[in-house]
Amino acid sequence: MIKALNQLSIIVFALLLTACSSESSLLPLSGGATILAFGDSLTAGNGAPQQGSYPAQLTRLLNKNVINAGISGEESNEGRGRLEGLLDQHRPELLILCHGGNDLLRKRPVSELEANLREMIAMAQQRGVQVLLLGVPAPGIFLSSEDVYERVAEETGVAFIPELIADVLSSPALKADTVHPNEAGYTEIAGIIFSELKKLGAI
């Protein structure tokens, strides 16, 4: 009996170690760090005034330069083609990647979305840029982050917030329309990202 309990304790301890080692963390951002918020209309801030977008609100929370590199209507293959130049131009310390919503709305192959996300993350990592990936939900009644985001995050080792966008778009009070937050919704997104960056050690 004692031997069995000891074996169980070893297994539980091993599982806890595995769980801890799989948690991503971020290096602290420097005082003058630039952050590149990259994506489509969710990043651009459709549904709110310009200063109500999540990158604009995150700029105020962090007191750092958060560049809004969101283009409404863009698909991930277009984003993949655009990102490299922005990384070289702005030399950010952190990339916040929220892309793929238009792929999902237009029912593009998920395999293509996955390949584009992986390539965008690789572009950043090759330049020593840390990445925070935001999950994006597929259209539906009950919103949940598309599985591809968790898979990509796990296999590339980037920091990941899975259900933030889905949770905001599930609340009528936080939506401007069916696919975009309102200013209050973007406030929620900025606040959660700020809190997660603290937990992950970036600030």
* Paired tokens of 105: 């709305």
pLDDT surpasses 70 at 71: yes
Cα distance between residue 100 and residue 109, in whole Å: 11
Domain boundaries, the chain: 28-200
Arithmetic mean of pLDDT, 54-59: 98
Average pLDDT along the chain: 90
pLDDT digits (tens, 9 = 90+) for 133-156: 999 998 888 899 999 999 999 999
DSSP 59-112: HHHHTSEEEEEE-TT--HHHHHHHHHHHHHHH--SEEEEE--HHHHHTT--HHH
Cα distance between residue 182 and residue 91, in whole Å: 30
Closest CA to 118 of 68, 83, 90: 83
Cα distance between residue 42 and residue 198, in whole Å: 22
| Contact (CB, 8 A) for 168 and 149 | no
Cα distance between residue 38 and residue 96, in whole Å: 6
Cα distance between residue 44 and residue 24, in whole Å: 26
pLDDT surpasses 50 at 173: yes
Beta strands in the chain (DSSP E): 34-39, 65-70, 94-98, 130-134, 159-161
More confident residue, 142 or 48: 48
| Contact (CB, 8 A) for 148 and 114 | yes
* Paired tokens of 160: 């990941």
* Paired tokens of 22: 């799989």
Percent of residues, the chain, with pLDDT higher than 90: 85
Q: Is the overall model pTM greater than 0.85, yes or no?
A: yes
pLDDT surpasses 90 at 39: yes
| Contact (CB, 8 A) for 37 and 43 | yes
CATH 1.10.1200.10 applies to domain 28-200: no
Cα distance between residue 69 and residue 183, in whole Å: 18
What pLDDT score was predicted for residue 189?
98
